[in-house]
Structure 1
Amino acid sequence: MKLRFNFKSVFIEAVSLLFVLLFVYAAIAKFLDFENFQIQLGQSPLLSVFASWIAWLVPIIELLIAILLVIPKFRNIGLWASFSLMIMFTVYIFIVLHYSSFVPCSCGGILEKMSWNVHLIFNIIFVILAVAAILFNMKIKQTNTARAKYLKTFKGLAGITAFSTLAVVILFLSSENIMHNENPFIRRFPPHPAEFSNAIDLKFNSFYFAGFSNKRLYLGNFTTPSKIISLNENLGDWQVKNIQFDPKDIPFKIVTTAVRDSFFYLVDGSVPKIFRGSLTDWRINKELKGTPYFNRAVPIDSNNIVFRSNNGRKLTSVLGVYTAAETPAIHYNKKLLQQQIDGIFDTDGTLLYSEKMHKIIYVYYYRNEFVVADKSGFLSFRGNTIDTTKYAKIKVATLKNGTQYAMSSPSYAINAHAAVWQNLLYVHSTAKGRFESKSVREKSFVIDVYDLNKNNYLFSFPIYHTSSDKLVSLLVTDAHLYAIIGNELVVYELRDALRKEIKSI
């Protein structure tokens, strides 16, 4: 009996010491690298929303439990608390592995070298050690009370397990709902949703994306609008296409080219003129007559164009849809773009069209909002990007007796660039979110991804600088993301984390 009593005492002492070492080491490691720990929690697929207070709460609880374990009078309480905390950690890892939208990188001192599955086994072992120490620490004076005592203890363990599990599940469900629908400007960066594939030097900074069709990428050039560069998906098979067209006496000012399906479009809203031709021979064969003046235009199909013009009151910006026919039709919806300051600069943004969703998308530059409309120009819904800039931070000056306007205090564009593919909206955001690494922001452009079907935020990923730190334009397909960065055309391969979110309509 004496040997058995000593074994129990030594076992309890050993387990308590192991927990003390584990919790003290983990807590000190968190405090010594607190900023990084908080950033890692902010990227957690379970605890992002609660990272600010959990980052403090967890190491404090670990230290308090360690104190309880080293004081003999409170050791039993410490063992129960250790069991509860290890259950929470175990459930957390189980949910990360089986139910979260992505599996983040491992973190936390010595445990950083462990995979998530090994970490799960490690936690389960410590749960078992805590249970054994709790059972050995029971004081049973009479044999006939042992069964009742053990039954009561097992009920307590089951209750603590249920409580700890429920607490983590509630945190997970609450965090997911808030992150996707009421995001408090916390970005999630899953591991490698897009990986660098290739890059080529374009030599000049005057290129832009004209479009993507039949697995070919098309580049336009502001200085030589009659020449189009065509490449395959991997930036190979470089071809130069010459647009066959005699403009005669048309006073073009800013000519751009757009590619949609099997057609290309030559557009200039200052004239205004839109011409259409076939990709087979690159020859203009039709003029879309009766087009209004515009400063943005995106083809919807062979006969419909969505455009933005200054046709509103006091030259404010409005969106409209032009339909080519024997009698051309123009539909303006002056309620789509909402004025905050002047209705011109404060409504500036990127005009897009999702061919698969049959939706018009307009992303504001200077505020955290985008507009989604059907192909006829009627509002479908308004969405928000995750930054906190609700109102454009610009100042506008009036020139020439109120007939011209200029930004007297320019603001940097919050949503500087945007692209759409099927149901996914990609936004290059220049605003720094909570719990984000400054070093990553300095070396990369952050792309936020939104699901237009659900009108919610999914996650973010970085595009790293190449030879330039200026992102010019974005284009996305089902398999790749293309970016013009300075003079370079860069292609990134989309991985499963992104491709599984693309839904065919």
Structure 2
Amino acid sequence: MELNKNIRTITIQIICLLYVMLFVYAAVSKLLDFENFQVQLGQSPLLSSYASYVSWMVPTLELLIAFLLFVPKFRNYGLYACLCLMTMFTAYIYIVLHYSSFVPCSCGGILEKMSWNVHLVFNLFFVGIAVLGIVFSHRYKTENNSLKNKLSPAKTIPFSILLSIFFVIALFLSSEEIMHHKNPFIRRYIKRSVHLVHSTDLKYNSYYFSGSSTGKLYLGNYTTPSQILSIDTSFKFQQRNKIDLNGHRIALGAIKTLVREKHFYLMDGTVPYIYAGSTENWKITSHLKEPPRFTSAEPIDKSTFIFRNNSGVKSANILGTYSAENGTKIKYAPDLLIQQIDGIFDTDGMLLYSNKMERAVYVYFYRNEIIVADKNGKLDYCGKTIDTISKAKIKVAYLKNETVRKMSAPPVMVNSQSTLHNNLLLVESKIPGFYEDPAIWKHASVIDVYNIRKNSYILSFPIFEIGDDKLKSLFLTDRHLYVMIGTKLLMYELRENLKKEMETD
């Protein structure tokens, strides 16, 4: 009998010693590399939204529990605290492995060398010895009549485990809601979202993305506007297509060609004109009559466009729709773009259109706002990019009796490039968020992904520079992301997490 008591006492002391060593080591490791620990928490699928609190709370709790275990008077409370905290860690790993959209990096220290599955077994072992310690401690105190009117471990242990698991599940669900819909400017980097499969050197930097059709990407060229370069998805076959003007004359201005499946549009908003034809023979077959002047335009169908020009009050930017069917019809939507300072620079941005969603999207350059409207120019909603710059940080100078406006200081660029396909919007951001690695911003362009149907932020990933050349433009299709960096054209394959998010049916 006495031998059993000694064995239980020694076992309890060993368990407490193991936990003290684990928690002290873990806490000190976190505090010594605190900045990196915060960055890792910021990328956690469960704790991103609470990283600033959890980064201090976890090492503090670990040290406090180690103190409770070290003092015999508080040892029983310490063992229950061990059980709860280690159960939370275990539940966290299980959710990450089975229910998270991605698996983040480990937590640092010696545990960083473990895989997530090994880490799960490691945690379960410590959960088990915490249970053993509580049971032995309860028996020891019962035999010494020092424990009276207390609940037995058979009731308190399951309750502690279930409460800890429920807490982690609640944390996961609330964090996901905050990250996707109320983001406090914490990016969720998932580097394996795209995978580079092909690249080629275009030799010239005057190319731009015109569009795509099944199995083909089309590139326009500003210096030779009547030529379109088509490239297949294997990057093995390239073909130069010359647009047959069919007797039409084009003025050399801001000419641009857009390709949408089997149709192309040769247009210039400064003249203005819009010609249309088929990619089967690259011959202009129609001339859309009396289009408005425009600074940006996107085709809705063969005879209807959504556009932006400077016809607003005091030459402010304004969006509108133009239809050449059954007579020219131009309809402006003056309430879509909201003026903050001057109406031109502060409302400058990128106009995009999703045929599948039948939605126009406008991404502002200098503020964290996204406008989503239907094909008739009626507002659906005003969304937000995840940064916090809600008012454009620009300074405008008015010259020549206020007839000329110019930027009087470099503006703070928020959103630089964007591309839209189906329900996914990709935006190159210029503003670092919380808990981010500065090296990423030094050597890469950061792409944020949004779901415009859900009005939610999804994830972020970097596109690394090539030498001194930075990202120039983006183009998204069902399966690929195309990128221009300098004179290089790169094709990235979308990984499963993005494919699942994109609506293609």
Q: What TM-score range do you get, normalising by the shorter chain?
A: over 0.9
User: 1:280-319 CA deviation, whole Å, 9 max, x = no partner?
Assistant: 1111121111101111011111111111010111111111
In structure 1, the residue matched to 2:219 is 219
Name the CA distance, whole Å, in 2 between partners of 1:239 and 1:288. 28
In structure 2, the residue matched to 1:393 is 393
- Whichever residue aligns with residue 300 of structure 1, its letter is I
In structure 1, the residue matched to 2:346 is 346
Q: Is the 8 A contact 2:246 2:283 kept in 1?
A: no
User: 1:325-346 CA deviation, whole Å, 9 max, x = no partner?
Assistant: 2411111111111111111111
Q: 1:151 to 1:398 in 2, by over 3 A?
A: closer
Deviation at 1:463, TM superposition (A): 0.9
User: 1:206-242 CA deviation, whole Å, 9 max, x = no partner?
Assistant: 1110001122101111111111110012333111111
Q: Map 1:199-210 onto structure 2 (within 5 A).
A: 199-210=199-210
Which is worse superposed, 382-391 or 316-325?
A: 316-325
Name the CA distance, whole Å, in 1 between partners of 2:189 and 2:250. 49
Which is worse superposed, 340-349 or 75-84?
A: 75-84
Name the CA distance, whole Å, in 2 between partners of 1:381 and 1:252. 38
Secondary structure of 1:49 counterpart? helix
Q: Map 1:321-336 onto structure 2 (within 5 A).
A: 321-336=321-336
Q: 1:240 to 1:250 in 2, by over 3 A?
A: closer
Deviation at 1:399, TM superposition (A): 2.2
Name the CA distance, whole Å, in 1 between partners of 2:63 and 2:447. 39
Q: 1:488 to 1:57 in 2, by over 3 A?
A: same
Name the CA distance, whole Å, in 1 between partners of 2:249 and 2:87. 78
User: 1:138-174 CA deviation, whole Å, 9 max, x = no partner?
Assistant: 2557779999989622212122223222222222222
Q: Is the 8 A contact 1:140 1:149 kept in 2?
A: no
- Whichever residue aligns with residue 331 of structure 1, its letter is K
Name the CA distance, whole Å, in 1 between partners of 2:142 and 2:430. 70
Name the CA distance, whole Å, in 2 between partners of 1:437 and 1:173. 26
Deviation at 1:493, TM superposition (A): 0.9
Q: Is the 8 A contact 1:43 1:189 kept in 2?
A: yes
1:31 aligns with 2:31: yes
In structure 2, the residue matched to 1:108 is 108
Q: Is the 8 A contact 2:372 2:382 kept in 1?
A: yes
User: 1:383-433 CA deviation, whole Å, 9 max, x = no partner?
Assistant: 100000100111111222222211112314211011111111111101001
1:97 aligns with 2:107: no
In structure 1, the residue matched to 2:51 is 51
In structure 1, the residue matched to 2:285 is 285
Q: TM-score normalized by structure 2?
A: 0.96
Q: Is the 8 A contact 2:210 2:218 kept in 1?
A: yes
Q: TM-score normalized by structure 1?
A: 0.96
- Whichever residue aligns with residue 317 of structure 1, its letter is N
Name the CA distance, whole Å, in 2 between partners of 1:138 and 1:348. 70
- Whichever residue aligns with residue 80 of structure 2, its letter is W
Matched length? 505
Name the CA distance, whole Å, in 2 between partners of 1:366 and 1:41. 29
Secondary structure of 1:17 counterpart? helix
Name the CA distance, whole Å, in 2 between partners of 1:431 and 1:74. 48
Q: 1:352 to 1:141 in 2, by over 3 A?
A: closer
Q: Is the 8 A contact 2:210 2:220 kept in 1?
A: yes
Structural RMSD (CA)? 2.0
In structure 2, the residue matched to 1:229 is 229
Listed as ranges, the gaps of 5+ residues in structure 2 are none
Listed as ranges, the gaps of 5+ residues in structure 1 are none
Q: Map 1:189-338 onto structure 2 (within 5 A).
A: 189-245=189-245, 250-338=250-338
In structure 2, the residue matched to 1:469 is 469
Secondary structure of 1:192 counterpart? helix
Q: 1:141 to 1:244 in 2, by over 3 A?
A: closer
Q: Is the 8 A contact 1:252 1:271 kept in 2?
A: no
- Whichever residue aligns with residue 19 of structure 1, its letter is Y
- Whichever residue aligns with residue 231 of structure 1, its letter is I
Secondary structure of 1:376 counterpart? coil
In structure 2, the residue matched to 1:447 is 447
1:182 aligns with 2:182: yes
1:21 aligns with 2:21: yes
- Whichever residue aligns with residue 258 of structure 1, its letter is L
Name the CA distance, whole Å, in 2 between partners of 1:174 and 1:232. 44
Instruction: State the identity as a percent.
Output: 51
In structure 1, the residue matched to 2:155 is 155
Deviation at 1:246, TM superposition (A): 6.2
Name the CA distance, whole Å, in 2 between partners of 1:191 and 1:133. 42
Q: Is the 8 A contact 2:352 2:420 kept in 1?
A: yes
Secondary structure of 1:131 counterpart? helix
Q: Is the 8 A contact 1:199 1:490 kept in 2?
A: yes
In structure 1, the residue matched to 2:12 is 12
In structure 1, the residue matched to 2:80 is 80
